[in-house]
Amino acid sequence: MPGKLKVKIVAGRHLPVMDRASDLTDAFVEVKFGNTTFKTDVYHKSLNPQWNSEWFKFEVDDEDLQDEPLQITVLDHDTYSANDAIGKVYIDIDPLLYSEAATVISGWFPIYDTIHGIRGEINVVVKVDLFNDLNRFRQSSCGVKFFCTTSIPKCYRAMIIHGFVEELVVNEDPEYQWIDRIRTPRASNEARQRLISLMSGELQRKIGLKVLEMRGNAVVGYLQCFDLEGESGLVVRAIGTACTLDKLSSPAAFLPACNSPSKEMKESPLVHPPSHGCRSTHNSPIHTASGSRLTQNFSVSVPTLIYTGMGSGSAGKEGGPFKGLLRQQTQSALEQREFPFFTLTAFPPGFLVHVGGVVSARSVKLLDRIHNPAFVGIMGNTRPYKLLDWNSFNSDEPETRDAWWAEIRQEIKSHAKALGCHAVVGYSESTSICEEVCILSASGTAAVLNPRLLQDGTVEGCLEQRLEENLLPGCGFCHIPYDELNMPFPAHLTYCCNCRKQKVPDVLFTTIDLPVDATVIGKGCLIQARLCRLKKKAQAEANATAISNLLPFMEYEVHTQLMNKLKLKGMNALFGLRIQISVGENMLMGLASATGVYLAALPTPGGIQIAGKTPNDGSYEQHISHMQKKINDTIAKNKELYEINPPEISEEIIGSPIPEPRQRSRLLRSQSESSDEVTELDLSHGKKDAFVLEIDDTDAMEDVHSLLTDVPPPSGFYSCNTEIMPGINNWTSEIQMFTSVRVIRLSSLNLTNQALNKNFNDLCENLLKSLYFKLRSMIPCCLCHVNFTVSLPEDELIQVTVTAVAITFDKNQALQTTKTHVEKSLQRASTDNEELLQFPLELCSDSLPPHPFPPAKEHLESASSNSGIPAAQRATSVDYSSFADRCSSWIELIKLKAQTIRRGSIKTTVTVEKSSPMGEGNFRNRSAPSCASSTVGVVKMTPLSFIPGAKITKYLGIINMFFIRETTSLREEGGVSGFLHAFIAEVFAMVRAHVAALGGNAVVSYIMKQCVFMENPNKNQAQCLINVSGDAVVFVRESELEVVSTQQPAANCQPACTGEVTT
Amino acid sequence: MTSELDIFVGNTTLIDEDVYRLWLDGYSVSDAVALRVRSGILEQTGATAAVLQSDTMDHYRTFHMLERLLHAPPKLLHQLIFQIPPSRQALLIERYYTFDEAFVREVLGKKLSKGTKKDLDDISTKTGITLKSCRRQFDNFKRVFKVVEEMRGSLVDNIQQHFLLSDRLARDYAAIVFFANNRFETGKKKLQYLTFGDFAFCAELMIQNWTLGAVDSQVDDMDVDLDKEFLQDLKELKALVADKDLLDLHKSLVCTALRGKLGVFSEMEANFKNLSRGLVNVAAKLTHNKDVRDLFVDLVEKFVEPCRSDHWPLSDVRLFLNQYSASVHSLDGFRYQALWDRYMGTLRGCLLRLYHD
């Protein structure tokens, strides 16, 4: 019984009139947690009741505390008939379960009803008394912090980044249960909301357990999604990156966290033999053997890989020192570590060594009732669960879905290996479901990471080879990680334009944010590829097959479009690439968004050349040359627009390119479900030069036209889908987060691929144009983190949802004050970073004395000699034998360092802990008069991980909310637009209210993960489901912060306190 | 390709002042789009008509959702659904309650009832203000009236507290409420030259001096109802014109004082008895509701028009009224000095304001 939950119902306001006769309401409140319910007295005849209840106390297990939401129901008392529900509030009490976050939840919450929307507000106070429980077999994972932010949260530092954690839970969807036929829509919606809330809690708890097993204390980049599989059930799944975080200002939590990991790290090389298995496949890219991988339409490529030293069984055996019990516990954790994946998109400097390119995998599955495990793939002969040796089928449901994802992840991993990378960063997973067909997708960026922050042994094997390149600022990550002479695919390599030493590809695609230290020329821009493909309506297997057959072509075309648009912009790299393939009844949609930039390290991109098929036709020739001119003009214009003027580099310095000067893509992916011939999709355009667009039919003509129809944003506007816009750093504090939704109905008459493409393209372009227009008052401004999602809710409907944040920036670089300020803060940031990294850096230099510096010298020499040692040769010269020694020695060092840090920082802690509450108090006092006339404090929301011009001082916990709204009076609520507009506004309001109740004033890393909208205008009905998440934080304006810090000259903590990271 | 659904929701609610004005003026979305196109916004921003249409729709939807809250402005401040900076909230409220001069002149002093609401069509045609906007303005009047009608305390304060209006606007609403409650006639042809400002000025003076609140600040309706006792007492003033000696004495006092100071002295002298009779009779008649309603008609008929026909300059009117009021103090036979001051003090202010072309 390790927890006591205390709830007090204070008051209500703006309640709806429930009694027509008196125009008043007799309200009372039910407070429910688990199976216990308390009630307040009835407050008669008031729309603003003052209950001022006693403290309702629930004595509960912490397991329940994590799973269950607190449920508050406001009702209208009726003497003669049943009491009418006014609405509910669900409060996730998770933020109260870890010490550093919120201590109390107190504030006004909107009372929400799934039929009527928000109906008044209720003031609630919630507290939790938690008793420490040292039971190691416990099922709860209280204390593990969760962050949606996909980088190390601003006021923490990463001690260890453990790696990938995932979990999924399934259940029947209440909407599809038999009881749904007899209950009201409200009851059904509430059952669903409650179930998802419960499942999210359970999921989070289970993930937390895995993190604890890994000896971590936090999950960063936590992404939880739910799949509405309809008849076959409801899946809630989550992925994240387990870390051991240390709060920069208060090392309280750091003491226990630091001893245990170092202990485990010693063991880790033993526990993780996979690292060796991993390395064995390293020099021979697997996809040479991949031709045999496919059986029928579904990928069972996985087993071969699994059994070559990667299986959990073998790991368990080799991990001899583990006791049986422990093995059972760690088994799942080990399995996770098979996947060296990171959901992070931004990293501590120096963490990312090389980037290989985008890896992605998709798989088409047929959904069946989840509780029927025998049927997995459409071809009954492939049953991954058998191959994967799952030990039980009793609780079979998650295993089926688990197996599906395991397959995909294996595939991603093998792709990464083919690119010479041992890790995948910026990893994400998604699904698209239509009826019983489901496309599972995963993508990430293959990368080589620096082991300093990785506890895990699996990644060590192939690391050191290029460690030295870290010291080259701004270009190291571009250098190819794979063996030049044994390239996984033919590629066009040149010497890095920055260091002139290493080889780089000519284009680079990634799913991560632009690394802070990357040298970029000019500004970036949002690049989108949009594509529709019709497909025949079909059932079950036929449908899945049709989709599988279409997918490779879509991938190819999306890639071509991206490449062409990138060239058209005169840029050479894509960041934040996200390709979404959505499936509908009669079509597939592909939407790829990314931010294009010009990386100084990569060669200048060539132009686009158009070639006709019939060279003899004079007018045709003329037309072609006209097009060519237009394209050239566009490229020139874009270069000017985005300020891309790279320094001219003479050919001699670059050196002659590697033979086979062909345009090759950096995008490697596969259609696991595609037919046998197309195993690895070669996106390198066969023997043709990709720069050449051949116009041989009208289709190609369309393509060229569509290339030119993308209108650049109006002047003063920039847009990107990454966290920040390369080339802009003088942000001002004005931000505006927004969500925009559009649904168009296609006229079914002219449904051709071209017409579809045009419609889809127009839809997206018009949407962007609308955004630019609406936000024109913010100019100069940049739309950051532009996140498009496409879905096909019905036959002829396309829905596009965009969430982004507009941030103004100071255009006048000449304004000295701001400039210096920015510079100062940047400088501060960099010193901060150094500070942050000081210990790992020392570590490396200590443990690898000869390595970091000599290579730099070597670079200088070879740069002058200009011939250079081929990268491959040097790679092989890396000393593997000393690997284990080094490993253990730097673990010792971590321990040592950790101790000294601990000792050294005690003083700091005290001052900081003293100052931070005061700082907060200051902030609260301040915020009050600023909105004196209004009682509602401002809560900022942003999809970014930071707030410009401010410093995040505290993370209060994760916000993860799920709402359903339904109406049977659609017309009266202003039609579909009115309905959804009001609903989204209400969702924002509820998020803000929860954040405010936690004591926060902003949500960062906000994301609307799902917005499922269904309508039935004939019945005057509509329903919408929305799932949002983010991190509740407290931020302090930089200007206020300076006041605070000068008031309290705590010399020690100042770099930590004021070090503003505006990156 | 038709747009089924098209929405934009910001964490901070976007308010476009120009579109808000168009919405308040009651234009339909298509009219508003047309007007915006005419304003040259497309050229300035390079947007298309479709973008403008979508933007206008969005704003209209937002305003429509906000309207419910604007009906009770304190709710707008406390609600959680729309995050709007305080300055914007104030702007929304102030603009929403701002009314058109032409419209207010039509309904000022009328009963704010369904009957009047039916006449809005005619008002709309007459003033060129859209029916929708007329309805909003009318409903605003009515809403404010309903809320403050039976409230204690200062009328202006009550309005400000419940509708969060600026001081200026709250005063205007006080006048509207006062006029509506007392049903002063303002629509007669001979009153057409008067502006809302003239009436509002008079209303303020009357509220200050002639209502219950002027003597007792603890009664209900204190600022909206005229002090009945006071009105009854006004009958006593009749002595000033009924008693021939008093009237002659009064006249001679005024004439003596103003001789040589007034440009229109002879006209004044000739008209004194008529003017005085007019002013005193107006007072004496105020016991009847019907005559209270005709107060302004009477004032204009009995005083403003005669003076105007003789081309009195405003300065002479002022001199005359001052002397006319003050001289009564020297009439020993007249006992109601305080009553006279309460009446004439306000009336003098009103008359001076009403005296213009």
Q: Which strand (E) or helix (H) includes residue A1006?
A: strand A1002-1016
Are B83 and A939 in contact (CB < 8 Å)? yes
Residue A393's SS3 state is coil
Mean pLDDT of A307-313: 23
Stated length of chain A: 1063
Q: Which of B55, B61, B86 sits opposite A974 (nearest CB)?
A: B61
Mean pLDDT of A720-733: 83
Query: Cα separation of B84 and B196, whole Å?
Result: 33
Q: pLDDT of A879-907, one tens digit each? A: 333 333 444 444 444 444 433 333 333 33
Looking at residue A684, its pLDDT comes to: 44
A936 contacts in chain B (CB < 8 Å): 77-80, 83
B86 contacts in chain A (CB < 8 Å): 931-934
Query: Cα separation of A763 and A1015, whole Å?
Result: 20
Residue A784's SS3 state is strand
Quick one: pLDDT band at residue A128, thresholds 50, 70, 90?
confident
Give the residue, A280 or B312, on which the prediction is more confident.
B312
Looking at residue A700, its pLDDT comes to: 62
Closest Cα in chain B, distance from residue A696 (Å): 29
A–B interface: beta-carbon pairs under 8 A: 143
Mean pLDDT of B131-139: 94
Looking at residue A852, its pLDDT comes to: 37
Mean pLDDT of A449-458: 60
Are B14 and A774 in contact (CB < 8 Å)? yes
Are B9 and A769 in contact (CB < 8 Å)? no
pLDDT value at A499 more than 70: yes
Beta bridge pairs of residue A224:
A238
Name the nearest CA neighbour of A319 among A282, A256, A260, A275.
A275
**Mutation test of the interface with chain B: which of A709, A770, A783, choosing the one with the most B Cβ atoms within 10 A?**
A770
Query: Cα separation of A768 and B47, whole Å?
Result: 11
| CB A50 within 8 Å of CB A120 | no
Looking at residue A567, its pLDDT comes to: 86
Query: Cα separation of A475 and A618, whole Å?
Result: 47
Range scoring the smallest mean pLDDT among A156-170, A306-320, B46-60, B70-84: A306-320
**Mutation test of the interface with chain B: which of A759, A988, A1024, A1026, choosing the one with the most B Cβ atoms within 10 A?**
A988
Mean pLDDT of B338-344: 90
Q: pLDDT of A356-409, one tens digit each? A: 888 888 888 888 654 443 333 333 333 333 223 333 333 445 677 888 898 899
pLDDT value at A981 more than 70: yes
Mean pLDDT of B118-146: 92
Closest Cα in chain B, distance from residue A998 (Å): 16
Quick one: pLDDT band at residue A101, thresholds 50, 70, 90?
low
Mean pLDDT of B310-338: 88
Q: Is the C-alpha dihedral spanning B216, B222, B227, B228 positive or negative?
A: negative
Mean pLDDT of A183-209: 89
Range scoring the smallest mean pLDDT among A255-269, A645-659, B261-275: A255-269
A1015 contacts in chain B (CB < 8 Å): 4
Looking at residue A926, its pLDDT comes to: 35
Looking at residue A449, its pLDDT comes to: 82
pLDDT value at A712 more than 60: yes
B80 touches chain A (CB under 8 A): yes
Looking at residue A182, its pLDDT comes to: 77
Q: pLDDT of A805-839, one tens digit each? A: 999 988 765 343 333 343 444 444 443 443 333 33
Quick one: pLDDT band at residue A221, thresholds 50, 70, 90?
very high
Looking at residue A28, its pLDDT comes to: 94
Range scoring the smallest mean pLDDT among A48-62, A651-665, A830-844: A830-844
Q: Residue A838 CB: number of other CB atoms within 10 A?
A: 12
pLDDT value at A52 more than 80: yes
A989 contacts in chain B (CB < 8 Å): 80-83
Closest Cα in chain A, distance from residue B7 (Å): 5
Looking at residue B93, its pLDDT comes to: 95
Beta bridge pairs of residue A124:
A9, A107
Query: Cα separation of A286 and B124, whole Å?
Result: 80
Closest Cα in chain B, distance from residue A85 (Å): 21
Looking at residue A1024, its pLDDT comes to: 94
Q: pLDDT of A520-551, one tens digit each? A: 888 889 999 998 888 888 887 888 888 888 88
Q: Which of A759, A978, A982 sits opposite B1 (nearest CB)?
A: A759
Nearest CA in chain B to A111: B80
Q: pLDDT of B310-322, one tens digit each? A: 889 999 999 999 9
Nearest CA in chain A to B79: A936
Are A981 and B85 in contact (CB < 8 Å)? no
Looking at residue A237, its pLDDT comes to: 92
Are B86 and A938 in contact (CB < 8 Å)? no
Q: pLDDT of A559-595, one tens digit each? A: 888 888 888 888 888 999 999 999 988 889 999 999 9
Query: What is the residue whose two structure tokens read 């007007």?
Result: B35
Quick one: pLDDT band at residue A57, thresholds 50, 70, 90?
very high
Are B6 and A762 in contact (CB < 8 Å)? no
Give the residue, B66 or A231, on which the prediction is more confident.
B66
Q: Which strand (E) or helix (H) includes residue A961?
A: strand A950-967
pLDDT value at A465 more than 60: no
Q: pLDDT of B198-248, one tens digit each? A: 999 999 999 888 888 777 666 666 778 888 888 888 888 888 888 888 889
pLDDT value at A763 more than 60: yes
Nearest CA in chain A to B10: A738
Are A773 and B45 in contact (CB < 8 Å)? yes
Name the nearest CA neighbour of A766 among A720, A802, A738, A737.
A802
pLDDT value at B76 more than 70: yes
Query: Cα separation of B252 and A391, whole Å?
Result: 120
Q: pLDDT of A1003-1062, one tens digit each? A: 999 999 989 998 888 889 999 999 999 999 999 987 776 655 554 443 333 333 333 333
Nearest CA in chain B to A982: B65
Mean pLDDT of A423-441: 89
Looking at residue A912, its pLDDT comes to: 32
Query: Cα separation of A358 and A667, whole Å?
Result: 5
Name the nearest CA neighbour of B108 among B175, B207, B159, B189.
B175
B3 touches chain A (CB under 8 A): yes
Q: pLDDT of A166-176, one tens digit each? A: 998 888 888 77
Q: How far is CA B25 from CA B28, B88, B136, in A?
A: 9, 19, 9
Are A980 and B7 in contact (CB < 8 Å)? yes
Looking at residue A799, its pLDDT comes to: 93
Closest Cα in chain B, distance from residue A1051 (Å): 37
Are A981 and B61 in contact (CB < 8 Å)? yes
